[in-house]
Amino acid sequence: MSVNRVPHHLGAPPAAGAWWLHPTSCFDGEQIRRDTALRIVDGRIEALAPAGEVGRDGLPVWRCESLACPAFVDLQVNGGGGVLFTQNPTPEALAAIADAHRLGGTGTWLPTLITSTPEVMERAVDAVLAVYGRCGVAGMHIEGPHIAPEYRGAHALELIRPFSDHTLGLLRRLRAHSVPVLLTLAPERLPDGVLARLVDMGVRVAIGHSGATEQQTRAALADGASLFTHLFNGMPPLQTKKVGMTGVALDSAAWCGVIADGYHVDDTMVRLAVRAKREPNTLFAVTDAMPTVHGPAHFELYGATIRVRDGRLIDARGSLAGVHIDMVGVLQRLVQRVELPLECALAMVTSIPARAAGIHPEHGCLRPNARADIALLDPDHLALNSLLIGGAHREPAGAHPLATP
């Protein structure tokens, strides 16, 4: 599914200082509030107050016919705007990807590096360290290379390898600078004791691209793994007589990301997963986006050309090879196709992923002291009207609208 961004010119809010944002309604990360305004001071939310208080202090007021919510939080972004981070692990690439995803309402994201050579991993870590805290980069997601070959998906088989001191050193560098890190791996391929050691370092370990048994999965959770990467994809299928990894994920309190594009996971399965999760509010959406999101209709991956066809990314064999959707498109699908309540869908693209990554309450919520990163949505169609980053209106340049060639 791909959704065109509907432009809606609201004028511009004050560039700096203190002012009021008065939307039609406001989702604070947990619930939708009516008759609520936000006082924004120097790029942060200072207060939420009844709309009747707006104007009494003499501050400027920006009124808009929009649903205000936190700018979207995406923990799995491979690329956008024609750029794939794994192929171009530079600060400039991160800025271009951020620019593209702002067209889809994403204000906070984790650049995702898929299975790569040690040299590429080093350059990617350098880039994240250089940009961290800017361009919406709130950490890093390293997906592979320590995964199961039989569940590798689009990852290059020849680059998959055992866990090593090299990876450990890169993780230490990131954590030494207090950069949040999400590491997707196959726990059955780790030496004993390594997973618990990673968790002790502050790394958030996600189980994914793995064929772990029920027992191995439960052991990994006991050692501190706290997430599952793209539920249902890159793991054994759910069975009725054998719990397996997917069953453990649903029956656990661990966070689970899900690709809600209608192709990687059927809409009904997403709806069932929301109801099935043992701990409520632990299922969140990711785009797992590739360079075609607000970019050209094709790109190269491990030497193969991947193209958009009928809203899907496919390789020369016609097989799925990535995701072509932005986060506002995900939100629209969760409400219109998966038929989730609006508050539930909004939480899945804002506050829940922020908690899963350990970056809440700085991101993913509208509350005092949080960053004023705010998406303004059309209340009827959930199109993105405008995006505020640090309280400033941001209109990304140079990216393509999200279309289906």
CA distance 258 to 265: 8
In three-state secondary structure terms, 58 is coil
Q: Give the C-alpha distances (Å, rounded to integers) separating 393 from 181, 202, 386, 387.
A: 29, 34, 7, 6
Kindly state the DSSP code that residue 131 receives in the 8-state scheme. Answer: H
C-alpha dihedral, 187 to 193 to 199 to 200, nearest 10°: 180
Tell me the three state secondary structure of residue 73: strand
Q: Which residues of 171-194 are buried (b: 16+ CB within 10 A; e: fewer)?
A: bebbeeeebbbbbbbbbbbbeeeb
Report the SS3 class of residue 282.
coil
Where helices occur in 114-257 by DSSP H, the ranges are: 118-131, 165-176, 194-200, 214-222, 244-250
Tell me the CA end-to-end span of the chain in Å, nearest whole number.
12
Contact 299, 44 (CB under 8 A): no
Burial class of residue 50, CB neighbours in 10 A (0-12, 13-18, 19+): exposed
Least Cα distance to 206 among 358, 29, 365 occurs for: 358
Among residues 261, 288, 326, 373, the one annotated as catalytic is 288
288 in catalytic set: yes
For residue 364, count CB atoms less than 10 angstroms from its CB and return exposed for 0-12, middle for 13-18, buried for 19 or more.
buried
Taking the mean position of all CA atoms in its chain, how far away is CA 352?
A: 10
Task: Name every residue whose Cβ is closer than 8 Å to that of residue 205 and which is 6 or more positions away in sequence.
Answer: 183, 185, 187, 195, 198, 199, 220, 224, 225, 226, 227
Q: How far does Cα 76 stand from its chain's mean position?
A: 5
Residues 6+ apart with CB under 8 A from 265: 231, 232, 233, 258, 259, 273
Tell me how far apart the alpha carbons of residues 14 and 130 are, in angstroms, rounded to a whole number: 29
Which residues are known catalytic residues?
288
